[in-house]
A and B are shown apart, each in its own frame.
Chain A
Amino acid sequence: MIKVENLTKYYGDLCALDNINFEVKKGEILGLLGPNGAGKTTTYRILTGYLSPTSGNIQVKDYNIYENQIEIKRLIGYLPESAPIYHDMFVFDYLNYVADIKRVEKKKKISHIQELAELCSLNEVMHMTIAELSKGYRQRVGIAHALMGDPEILIFDEPTSGLDPNQIAETREIIKRIGKKKTIVFSTHILSEAEATCDRMVILNEGKIVADNRLEDLRESLNIESFEDIFRKITKGNCK
């Protein structure tokens, strides 16, 4: 479904991504993990067309990011890290605007918005402006934004960061529920969460891929039981 090939990104002299390669298969839930500054967000931003790579390519289905950016954007629903959205809009207006841009059919639009509001428990805040919402609700508006138009691929950049334990559980529930039908790439710093939801993990460190495997295989090859220890062992190498 998604094929990242020799992707490299420099910000000036700083190398954010160094020649990375990985694949995401259809229907898979992939955890893209790594310490802060490892290049996760940069990868997402290139994939969603917000940034262009210094070199390398990403193939989504039969499209590539140089020639078919709009088609790729239509396939992807993206939740950026802090879900920053327009503060001076009503939640309903915002979702309505997103539905228009993502070309949800007129007839289905209202029912689709209602469905997403139900799924993300937004019903009681539809008439409030986004500025008035708490962090958790904003995050859910962001998730509803990502799900709008029923995209095949979903990308969540730290969907549970800054949420309280109840909200984390709810968000995880949403991801699991939609993950049955979609291809999902997401990142998190909560390792138990990754363990519980991901089919496979790609671990990045300082712009390089240091692991690309299923957790069981990682455990076996390193002979370490706890995921936390595995994570620290493979990402700590250069930190000292």
Chain B
Amino acid sequence: MKNINNIFKKEFKSYFFSPIAYIVISIFLLVVGWLFFSTFFLNRQANLSRFFSILPVALAFIIPAVTMRLFSEEINIGSYEILLTMPVTFRDIIVGKFLAALAFVGVMLAPTVIYAVTVSFMGKLDWGPVIGGYIGALLLGASYCAIGILASSITRNQVIAFITAMSICVFFTLLIDFLIFFLPNAFVGFFQYMSASFHFQNIAKGVIDSRDILYFLSVSFISLYGTNLIMQEKK
């Protein structure tokens, strides 16, 4: 447990040591803020539903950029050897890095609370869906972080890690929107259940259902477990 904390602290700090963190956060806030507010006044509604419908796609592109270096860089510069020869277990390493990425996503999302506050001045904002939306965003973020970490553990090349993770995340996000039209009815239910944005939208409505939470937790767990298997295989 202590070592999870040590690795978490180191990884989280090192995000803010390089300019990448600030660039990623700025781009995220600019893009999401612009997409949200450019059509906000047309709707004449004081809610954040538009914001939460953009969020899954934005996270699907941004989070792989956050997680891509976690393993690939270590494997590439050779510090992976140092990491593995220190008295830490695979679990410590994976969970520590995962929590650092998730905390970074939390930091990235935090400024968007201002949107909710701004909107609440303009009309009567229902805070239920907003709180649900943020819980959902963190769960979704956790799944994407785990997928990103899995992709990062496969390769020493950060670009490959980024593109792999982004493809998987985008697939899970857009599954419901695009693929469903091409599928026979019998499969729709299954693919809808597989889709991350479906579960996210459920939570973002303000309905916190154990099925949705279970979905995100299982995606995270399976990806992190896969990372563990890959590390085992590398030995």
Report the minimum CB–CB distance from B154 to chain A (whole Å).
18
Pick the interface stretch among A98-106, A108-116, A178-186, A225-233.
Answer: A98-106
Query: Which stretch (A27-35, A77-85, A164-172) binds chain B?
Result: A77-85
Q: Which of A51, A73, A80, A89 contacts B235 (CB 8 A)?
A: A51
Distance (Å) between the CB of A9 and the closest chain B CB?
Answer: 11
CB distance from B2 to the nearest CB of A (A): 7
Residues of A within 8 A of B84 (CB): 48-50
B6:A49 contact, CB within 8 angstroms: no
- A52 adjacent to chain B (CB < 8 Å): yes
Q: A80-B81, A80-B82, A101-B3 are in contact. Are A70 and B89 (CB under 8 A)?
A: yes
Please indicate the chain B residues that have their CB under 8 angstroms from the CB of A49 in the complex.
Answer: 84-85
Q: How many residues does chain A have at the interface if contact means C-beta atoms less than 8 Å apart?
A: 27
A45 interface residue (CB < 8 Å to B): yes
Chain B 1-36 against A: per-residue CB contact (8 Å), 1 yes, 0 no?
A: 011001101100110011000000000000000000
Instruction: Give the docked Cα–Cα distance between A52 and B82 (Å).
Output: 15
Within 8 Å of chain A (Cβ to Cβ): is B111? no
List of B residues within 8 angstroms of A80 by Cβ: 78, 81-82, 85
Residues on A lying within 8 angstroms of B by beta carbon are: 45, 48-52, 70, 73-74, 76, 78, 80, 82, 84-89, 93, 97-98, 100-103, 145
A–B pairs, 18, beta carbons within 8 Å? A48-B85, A49-B84, A50-B84, A51-B235, A52-B235, A78-B85, A80-B81, A80-B82, A84-B81, A85-B79, A88-B14, A97-B9, A98-B86, A101-B6, A101-B7, A101-B86, A101-B87, A145-B82
Q: Which residues of B does A touch, CB under 8 Å?
A: 2-3, 6-7, 9-10, 13-14, 17-18, 77-79, 81-82, 84-89, 235
